[in-house]
């Protein structure tokens, strides 16, 4: 596609897109095509796939409680290598290019090593570079703190690097090249008729990301929303025809008002990483919720989907979900607090799935939740917990129903036929 | 050993010494011992062996004429990883440590990327680090140029990093830990009776390095001589008893006046990387040498061991050596200049070895060269070319005699019994 009036784009390539020299050459071709249609391009790269894992393993083997400053300095080298190699590959194809490590840009972060946040990007050197017709190839995932030490942004952080860079460069668009060709209405491994979503709102993407569609790092979507960066997700393994603007490949993540046709439901996500806890027979007194959730919060356990229901004899039941990995800890904490909570029974269930339907159209359409309950009831799927937000309805059902439920909902919301 | 009154040392570990996590732990133990006897220690590390080669191969595969700026940024990551890992290993043993990349120190170099020279080291941050009881672990082989781009010092450059750092830190000593336990009187693979040299002068080491004893990068020895840094070469695979100062392990490279017992000959080196060229029957006129050597110099061919001898009928013969890898180029250049040089015949010979005896004692002892000629003559080894310097005598003989000649000379100069 051409870049329009202000043709400046950021192109980001993930680890599988640069996993070997052949793929790095293919990425260089993709960048070259954008340069040749007149775009001003900045590139962000991840480490070659496998490299970061190897470096992390070195650190963990030496000391499971490694110094996160040293960890950052070690793992950030992966992206430094890729940025240099891609610069060489571009130069070899006649495109002027140079690599930039995070500290060279500089991309300034806080000092929360291992999961740092970008405070500021001084893009002036990069802009000078681009004005000279040189493609900057920026090492993703990294920055530098106020003490001049290398920091990293957490796994998937190169997405955030790219979006932040697009914001500082005031880029027309941030293209995230990955190993899938876009964001789908649901998991294509479960639903063959899943369709690529042409345009999705930031809020929808955030809801989908948080419930399992791991195409973009959540923080990168939050940042894109805050900075109003248009993000396009597309595959680095397909050749995109750059001559047709009207037929954008991949999926565009944009602000709600850019989306003309607001579907009731944009996508259906599921998560098998949740476990259900039911605390039964609690005295129905003020402050009882706090007696349950305060100790869990103290232990940094993320509680989701809280539902309170009346029991018998002035008691109440509290149902909620926690990440599966935290279930044993949560159970232990609650049992130790039995003398305060005074529950009769504690039931836990790992065999559950959280299914969510997401769509900004819910704001103006009514009855979205009802379609969900009706569809599940028709398949005799028992809904155990319900929670809703402005643009999302989530339910907990038994894990064995995951495929059946997702497929039935996909059909019920008309997504099988979308975009056809 | 203890460190004496001003206990500040630089310890440098090469690639085989840090080739895996176990060896990195062993290096950490070695550093820890020095810290525990009260030394103020700064460490310099190479990349894990094999890593640099892999990165160089990536660059060469993408483009044999790669951009050396990008090359530097890519290959410098190897040392960055090792410095972080060693810092973690030290911390794990209770020793405070932190890694320093070249640009963090900073180690400022010129912009001759791929073979940069250190212009200046601002050691103030490192000194503050050491004063706080933290061991700085500096990535060797690298620096940063005036444009804030990463530079590297050429293969073996970590030795130079260590010596330069020792000079800026005004260190008592620079310890180079490697895979051999010192500098030997000759190659122990040829002469079983080769002995470790306890102390060797910079000048001797330079002569030995340039003729084949590749323990230290030549530039590091030049720098040590210029800055008067005492260098100790020792093995990282042996445990050194740190309690006995009188029995220093390894070999000490120091200034001539520190060496009490000046041997006539300190060591015997050989090089199979030379080729001989004889230009025969040249008109014996002024300027004829220049007509031969000017075009070779222009082509950056390093000419060594020039000997001129009278031929017959007002002609002269010129014999000299060039690196074997440049022989074909040199021959081609001379043949093209035949109409200027007007030689009768051009003879080249690759089957030669350069054998050198080196010793600062030659300055005060006479007859050193004569022992060499007599010893070789007794074995019927024909000397083809001779060249001498103040502390070195070199000869060219047929390559087949290399072991015989080196062994005979080792015995003749009394080196078999040295240090016994």
- Write out pLDDT tens, residues A103-121: 999 999 999 999 999 999 9
Listed in sequence order, the residues at least 6 apart from B72 whose beta carbon sits closer than 8 Å to its beta carbon are B113, B114, B116, B142, B149, B150, B151, B152
Which numeric CATH code is attached to A262-415?
3.30.2130.10
| Residues A85 and B75: beta-carbon distance below 8 Å | no
Least reliable range by pLDDT among A101-110, A255-264, A332-341, B75-84: A255-264
Contacts of B21 in chain A (CB under 8 A): 58, 61-62
Percentage above 90 pLDDT, chain A? 75
Is A83's Cβ below 8 Å from some Cβ in B? yes
Do residues A140 and A12 lie in contact, with contact meaning Cβ atoms separated by under 8 Å?
yes
Do A25 and B62 count as a contact with CB atoms less than 8 A apart? yes
Residue B85 and residue A55: Cα distance in Å, rounded?
9
On the question of a common fold for A8-257 and A262-415, the answer reads: no
Nearest to A148 among B24, B67, B104 (CB): B104
Selection from A90-99, A270-279, B259-268, B309-318 with the highest mean pLDDT: A90-99
| Adjacent-strand bridge partners of B319 | B278, B307
- Pick from B61, B77, B88: which is nearest to A62 by CB? B88
**pLDDT above 50 for A341:** yes
Q: Which of B173, B178, B197, B184 is nearest to B245 (CA)?
A: B173
Cα–Cα nearest to A164, from A200, A201, A217: A217
Residue A135, both tokens: 């493609």
Residue A418: its pLDDT value, please? 66
Q: Which residues pair with A396 in a beta bridge?
A: A354, A385
Q: Please give the Cα distance from B144 to B167 (Å, whole number).
A: 18
Structure tokens that stand for A414 in this block: 């008309």
3-state secondary structure of B184: strand
- Mean pLDDT lowest for which of A156-160, A206-210, A283-287, B209-213? B209-213
Tell how far CA B338 is from the center of its chain: 37
B77 touches chain A (CB under 8 A): yes
The lowest-confidence range among A385-389, B37-41, B143-147 is A385-389
Residue B71, C-beta contacts closer than 8 angstroms, at least 6 positions apart: A84, A88, B56, B59, B113, B114, B152
Q: How is residue B352 annotated by DSSP?
A: E
Task: State residue A203's pLDDT score.
Answer: 93
User: Does residue B106 have a cis peptide bond before it, meaning omega lies within 30 degrees of 0?
Assistant: yes
Chain mean pLDDT for chain A:
91
Q: Tell me what percent of chain B is helix, strand and coil, each rounded to the nearest 5.
A: 40, 25, 35
Question: For residue A278, how far is the Cα from the chain centroid?
Answer: 29
Strands (DSSP E) found in A68-117: 97-100, 107-109
Q: Does B66 touch chain A (CB under 8 A)?
A: yes
* Residue B169, pLDDT above cutoff 60: yes
Torsion of CA B367, B373, B379, B381, to 10 degrees: 170
A319-347: average pLDDT: 94
Q: How far is A92 from chain B (nearest CA, A)?
A: 7
Average pLDDT over residues A341-361: 94
Nearest to A52 by CA among A27, A71, A26: A71
Tokens of B376: 């070789």
Q: Which CATH number fits domain B8-180+215-229: 3.40.50.920, 3.40.1160.10, 3.40.50.880, 1.10.620.20?
A: 3.40.1160.10
Question: What end-to-end distance do the CA atoms of chain B give, in Å?
Answer: 22
- The pLDDT score that the predictor gives to residue B203 is 93
Mean pLDDT of all residues in A320-335 = 94
The residues with which A397 forms a beta bridge, in sequence order, are A353
Window 107-146 of B, Cβ < 8 Å to A:
none
Q: Using CA coordinates, name the residue in chain B closest to A74.
A: B81
In this model, does residue A185 exceed pLDDT 70? yes
The span from the CA of B25 to the CA of A100, in Å, is 32
A15-24, A225-234, B182-191, B209-218: least confidently modelled range: B209-218
- Residue A179 has what pLDDT? 83
* CA dist., res. A331 & res. A318, Å (int): 14
pLDDT of A347: 96
- pLDDT for the residue A286: 82
Place of tokens 């991840």: A46
Q: What percentage of chain A's residues is helix, strand, coil (to nearest 5)?
A: 40, 25, 35
Distance CA B159, CA B15 (A): 11
d(CA A214, CA A217): 7
The pLDDT assigned to B237 comes to 78
**Distance from first CA to last CA of chain A, Å, rounded?**
22
What is the count of residue pairs from A and B with beta carbons less than 8 Å apart? Answer: 98
Strands, DSSP E only, in B172-273?
173-178, 199-201, 231-235, 251-254, 267-271
Chain A residues in contact with B61 (beta carbon < 8 A) = 21
Could you report the per-residue pLDDT of B298-356, keeping only the tens digit for each? 988 989 888 888 777 788 999 999 999 999 999 999 999 999 999 999 999 999 999 99
Residues with Cβ within 8 Å of B54's Cβ and at least 6 positions away in sequence, in order, are none
Question: What is the CA A165 to chain-centroid distance, rounded?
Answer: 17
Please answer whether residues A43 and A13 qualify as being in contact, where contact means their C-beta atoms are separated by less than 8 angstroms.
yes
Q: Based on the number of CB atoms within 10 Å of its own CB, is A245 exposed (0-12), middle (13-18) or buried (19 or more)?
A: exposed
Give the Cα separation of B241 and B229 in Å (integer): 23
B89 interfaces chain A, CB cutoff of 8 Å: yes
Q: Does B56 touch chain A if contact means CB atoms closer than 8 Å?
A: no
pLDDT, residue A45, reads 98
Partner-chain contact A58 B85, CB within 8 Å: yes
Check residues A351 and A308 and name the one with the higher pLDDT: A351
pLDDT at residue A337 is higher than 90:
yes
Could you please state the CATH topology (level 3) that the domain comprising A8-257 is classified under.
Carbamate kinase (3.40.1160)
Q: Minimal Cα–Cα distance from A78 to chain B, Å?
A: 8
d(CA A203, CA A218): 11
**So what's the pLDDT on residue A212?**
58
Using one digit for the tens of pLDDT, what is the confidence trace for B21-64?
999 999 999 999 999 999 999 999 999 999 999 999 999 999 99
Residue B360: Cβ within 10 Å count: 23
**Burial classification of residue B265, based on how many CB atoms lie within 10 Å of its CB (0-12 exposed, 13-18 middle, 19 or more buried):** buried
- Least CB–CB distance from B66: residue in A21, A80, A88: A88
H/E element, A177: strand A173-178
CB contact under 8 A, B62 and A88: yes
Of the listed ranges A306-320, A326-340, B48-62, B72-86, the least confidently predicted one is A306-320
Q: Which of A62, A84, A87 sits opposite B85 (nearest CB)?
A: A62
Average pLDDT of the segment spanning A145-171 = 95
Q: With 80 as the cut, is the pLDDT of residue A262 above it?
A: no
Determine the residue among A25, A74, A148 to mutate to test chain B binding: the one whose Cβ has the most chain B Cβ atoms within 10 Å: A74
Rounded to the nearest 10 degrees, how much is the dihedral formed by the CA atoms of B155, B393, B256, B127?
0
Task: Supply A110's token pair.
Answer: 């806080």
Complex-level ipTM: 0.84
Choose from B70, B100, B147 for mutation: most chain A CBs within 10 A. B70
A chain contacts of residue B63, beta-carbon cutoff 8 Å: 88-89, 91-92
- pLDDT-derived band at A239, boundaries 50, 70, 90: low
Best of A66, A85, A96 to substitute, by most chain B Cβ atoms within 10 angstroms, is A85
Domain edges within chain A = 8-257, 262-415
Contact (Cβ atoms closer than 8 angstroms) between residue A236 and residue A230:
no
Q: Extract the tokens encoding B161.
A: 């990093």
A95 pLDDT above the threshold of 90 = yes
Sign of CA dihedral B146, B149, B150, B152: negative
| Distance, CA of B129 to CA of B96 (rounded, Å) | 10
* pLDDT confidence of residue B246: 40
Chain A environment of B19 (Cβ under 8 Å):
none
Domain B257-420 CATH (choose: 3.90.650.10, 3.30.2130.10, 3.20.20.70, 3.40.50.620): 3.30.2130.10
Task: Determine the Cα–Cα distance for residues A356 and A268; give it in Å rounded to an integer.
Answer: 6
Looking at the complex, does the CB of residue B245 fall below 8 Å from at least one CB of chain A? no
**Positive or negative torsion for Cα A62, A64, A69, A75:** positive
Nearest chain B residue to A63, by CA: B92
CB B229 within 8 A of CB B251: no
Bin A170: left if φ > 0, else alpha if -120 < ψ < 50, else beta: left
Show residues of chain A in contact with B73, CB under 8 Å.
80, 83-84, 99, 101
Question: CB neighbours (10 Å) of residue A113?
Answer: 19
Instruction: Give me the sheet containing A142-144, strands edge to edge.
Output: A118-121, A107-109, A142-144, A150-152
Tokens matching residue B211: 């003729």
| pLDDT confidence of residue B343 | 93
- Of the CA atoms within 13 Å of residue B41, those in its CB half-sphere come to 28
The DSSP letter of residue B196 is B
How is the beta sheet containing B274-283 ordered, strand by strand?
B304-310, B315-323, B274-283, B345-349
Q: Which is more confidently placed, B261 or A318? A: A318
Does residue A85 belong to the interface with chain B, where contact is any CB pair within 8 Å? yes
* More confident: A81 or B238: A81
**Whether pLDDT at B7 is above 90:** no
The CA-atom distances, in angstroms, between A15 and each of A78, A109, A164, A368, B385 are 10, 22, 19, 38, 58
Chain B residue numbers touching A71 (CB-CB < 8 A): 84, 88
């Amino acid at each position: 596609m051409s870049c329009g009036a202000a043709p400046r784009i950021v192109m980001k390539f993930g680890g599988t897109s640069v996993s070997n020299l052949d793929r790095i050459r293919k990425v260089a071709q993709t960048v070259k095509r954008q340069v040749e249609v007149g775009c001003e391009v900045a590139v962000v790269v991840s480490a070659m796939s496998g490299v970061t894992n190897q470096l992390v393993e070195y650190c963990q083997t030496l000391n499971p409680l490694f110094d996160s400053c040293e960890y950052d300095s070690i793992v950030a080298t992966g992206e430094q290598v890729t940025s240099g190699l891609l610069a060489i590959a571009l130069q070899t194809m006649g495109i002027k290019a140079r690599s930039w490590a995070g500290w060279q840009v500089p991309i300034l972060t806080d000092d929360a090593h291992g999961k740092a946040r970008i405070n500021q990007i001084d893009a002036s050197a990069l802009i000078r570079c681009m004005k000279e017709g040189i493609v900057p190839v920026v090492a993703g995932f990294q920055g530098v703190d106020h003490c001049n030490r290398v920091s990293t942004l957490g796994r998937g952080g190169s997405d955030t690097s790219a979006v932040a860079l697009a914001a500082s460069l005031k880029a027309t668009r941030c293209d995230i090249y990955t190993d899938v060709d876009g964001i789908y209405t649901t998991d294509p491994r479960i639903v063959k008729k899943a369709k690529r979503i042409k345009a999705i709102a930031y809020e929808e993407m955030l809801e989908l990301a948080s419930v399992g569609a791991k195409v973009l790092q959540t923080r990168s979507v939050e940042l894109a929303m805050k900075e109003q960066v248009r993000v396009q997700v597309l595959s680095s393994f397909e050749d995109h025809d750059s001559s047709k603007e009207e037929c954008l490949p991949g999926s565009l993540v944009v602000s709600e008002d850019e989306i003309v046709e607001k579907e009731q439901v944009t996508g259906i996500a599921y998560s098998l990483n949740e476990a259900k806890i039911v605390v039964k027979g609690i005295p129905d007194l003020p402050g009882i919720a706090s007696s349950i959730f305060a100790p869990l919060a103290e232990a940094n356990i993320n509680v989701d989907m809280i539902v309170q229901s009346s029991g018998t004899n002035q008691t109440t039941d509290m149902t909620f979900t926690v990440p599966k990995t935290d279930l044993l800890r949560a159970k232990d904490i609650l049992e130790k607090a039995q003398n305060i909570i005074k529950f009769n029974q504690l039931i836990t269930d790992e065999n559950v799935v959280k299914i969510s339907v997401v769509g900004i159209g819910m704001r103006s359409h009514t009855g979205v939740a009802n379609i969900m309950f009706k569809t599940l009831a028709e398949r005799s799927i028992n809904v155990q917990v319900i929670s809703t937000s402005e643009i999302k309805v989530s339910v907990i059902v038994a894990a064995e129903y995951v495929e059946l439920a997702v497929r039935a909902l996909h059909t019920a919301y008309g997504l099988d036929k979308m975009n056809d």
